[in-house]
Amino acid sequence: MRIGIAGCFHETNTFAPGVTGLSDFQREWHEGENAFRQAYEGTRTSMGAALDATEVLGLQMIPLFYTYTTPSSMVEDEAMDKIIQTLIESVAAQADRLDGLLLIVHGAMASETVEDVEGLMLRRLRAVLGSKPIAMTIDLHANMSQEMTDLADFIVGYDTYPHIDAYERGLEACELLRKLLEGTVRPTRYLARPGVLIAPTLMNTNQAPMSELMDMAYAYESKTDVLNVTAAGGFAFADVSCAGFTFVVTTDGNPLLARKIGDELSQWLLKNQDRFAPVLFSAKSAIEEASRQGLFPTVLVESSDNVGAGSPADATHVIHELLEQRKHSFLVVLCDGQAVAEAEAAGVGNAYSYDVGGKTDRLFGKPPIHGEPVRIAGTIRALSDGRYKHNGPYMTGMAAEMGKTAVVELERGDGSLVVLTEQRVPPWDINHVRTLGIDPSSYDFIVVKAAVAWRTAFGELAALSIEVDTPGCSSSNLSRLPYRNIAADIHIISGELTR
């Protein structure tokens, strides 16, 4: 059985400043077997799983094309067209040899004129492959459309957030393809859409209420005739009509059972939706609360500037408050290429004074919702090329780059550090700071530009974590966002500022 491997993975934040162009994807652009294997062989990713399916499942896996870029703003139509063209051409060139296809996508990619890029991909793929089976892996934050559900034979979503099961779900999708080609299953799918929009913060699958929902999904998957139950929490920062929580249930020739399970899961979510509202603090109150409890390190969760949700990574609301107080040390990572260049010019061991952060909004002519630049002063402690490898449970084995990086020790006298990077870096692996010679456990406050996935980097050392409510394009307080295109009847679950 010959299975092609192809895909494009992007999570599109339609509120983020700027646009995402082809050059952003070309950093992770892999055509053909050699390039694919060099990038993903031995990694705990869906791509790594697809390569291992040859040995594990006895399938002949044929790498074709895959591209990825860090979650970011709306994708330019020109970039989308080139990506889909390359994907289709790579599949078409091997179509006669293929028995099926594994399509690796996020499920929340949007371009300037296409709100459901994955649906368009599948439509184009069907024109090439006809009825040959397609299994699609998706992120837990996919915004599932009916077209995606109709055109893929299998939809297998991550079961975890932080997403540490991409490898397992990749193998699962390949195994389902094998069963279909063997003629032992007849997949029928049902898409349930309860009409709820939830921020990622309360989708941590290790904590209630999300853990309870996933336990229900696992229980349903153990039933006879149930092939897969995917709970797709949706991506609230994509202002598209298909945004929101969905369930995709795949059964073995039993459409009534698929509908029954999907509807029961939807009913549970509707009954428990208010439990998914985050508890939020202002930046100042969060610092005060941590001081009151005396639990350190405290992770200040700046989800409004969540790199993994497409934010610019240069918001300054939290660092501004930390600079105002003098009692506690802190560690902050900011993306600011100009500031890095200034640090390089100064050199290691020399004094540094510069206005950092708060630049992306202005660059694209947007109101400065992510804050104004803040002045920092100190000494250049280190300069780096910003390269590291994921050794933790998230994307294990993957190489990562922050671009040129500078570490500035502030003149406060408490060792506080500001790490400046050329490229946005999601805090998914602790090596992004350890490779710079930083021990994060030695700081009172660690600021993470994330929602939940930071736990794979800092979860074990955090004595306390506090969700901070600040303005930004990925705010957990969804009432801050100017929605125009989401479904009119969807219920938006917004966090409330407690202090």
pLDDT in tens, 375-384: 999 999 999 9
| Angle between helices 210-221 and 255-272 in degrees, nearest 10 | 170
Contact 14, 239 (CB under 8 A): yes
Token readout for 437 is 């010679």
Mean pLDDT of the region 475-495: 95
pLDDT in tens, 20-68: 999 999 999 999 999 999 999 999 999 999 999 999 999 999 999 999 9
pLDDT in tens, 94-113: 999 999 999 999 999 999 99
Q: So what's the pLDDT on residue 497?
A: 56
Nearest to 84 by CA among 102, 61, 109, 62: 109
Which residues have C-beta within 8 Å of that of residue 16, sequence separation ≥ 6? Answer: 72, 73, 74, 237, 310, 311, 312, 473, 474
The mean pLDDT value of the chain amounts to 97
The yes-or-no verdict on residue 284 having pLDDT over 60 is: yes
Question: Which conformational region is residue 133 in: left (phi greater than 0), alpha (psi within -120 to 50 degrees), or beta?
Answer: beta
Q: How far is CA 129 from CA 4, 26, 124, 473, in A?
A: 11, 26, 9, 38
Q: So what's the pLDDT on residue 160?
A: 99
Q: Is 93 helix (H, G, I), strand (E, B) or coil?
A: helix
Number of other residues whose CB lies within 10 A of the CB of residue 188: 19
Contact 244, 193 (CB under 8 A): yes
For 11-32, the DSSP string reads: BB-TTSSS-B-HHHHGGGEEES
pLDDT in tens, 246-270: 999 999 999 999 999 999 999 999 9
Task: Determine which of 56-60, 241-245, 363-367, 448-452 has the lowest per-residue pLDDT on average.
Answer: 363-367
Q: How far is CA 251 from CA 148, 194, 202, 224, in A?
A: 16, 20, 28, 9
**Separation of alpha carbons 468 and 305, rounded Å:** 10
Count of residues making up the chain: 499
The yes-or-no verdict on residue 498 having pLDDT over 80 is: no
What one-letter code names the amino acid at 78? E
Nearest to 468 by CA among 334, 305, 323: 305
For 263-304, the DSSP string reads: HHHHHHHHHHGGGGPPEEB-HHHHHHHHHHHT-SSEEEE-GG
**Separation of alpha carbons 197 and 243, rounded Å:** 7
- Cβ burial 40-74 (10 Å sphere, 16+ → b, else e): beebbbbbbbbbbbeeebebebbbbbbbbbbbbbb
**Separation of alpha carbons 344 and 404, rounded Å:** 9
- 395 burial level (CB within 10 Å; 0-12, 13-18, 19+): buried
Q: So what's the pLDDT on residue 403?
A: 98
**Separation of alpha carbons 160 and 167, rounded Å:** 11
Q: So what's the pLDDT on residue 352?
A: 99
Token readout for 28 is 């992770």
**Separation of alpha carbons 76 and 66, rounded Å:** 18
Q: So what's the pLDDT on residue 218?
A: 98
User: Which phi and psi (to 5°) does residue 411 adopt?
Assistant: -80, 15
What one-letter code names the amino acid at 50? A
pLDDT in tens, 138-162: 999 999 999 999 999 999 999 999 9
Strands 279-280 and 496-497: parallel
Q: So what's the pLDDT on residue 169?
A: 99
Q: So what's the pLDDT on residue 499?
A: 56
Mean pLDDT of the region 168-181: 99
Residue with tokens 């005739």: 225
Degrees to nearest 5, angle at CA 146 with 140 and 147: 105
Q: Using the 8-state DSSP alphabet, how is residue 391 labeled? A: -
Q: So what's the pLDDT on residue 31?
A: 97
**Separation of alpha carbons 228 and 168, rounded Å:** 13
Selected residue with higher pLDDT from 366 and 125: 125
pTM, full prediction: 0.97
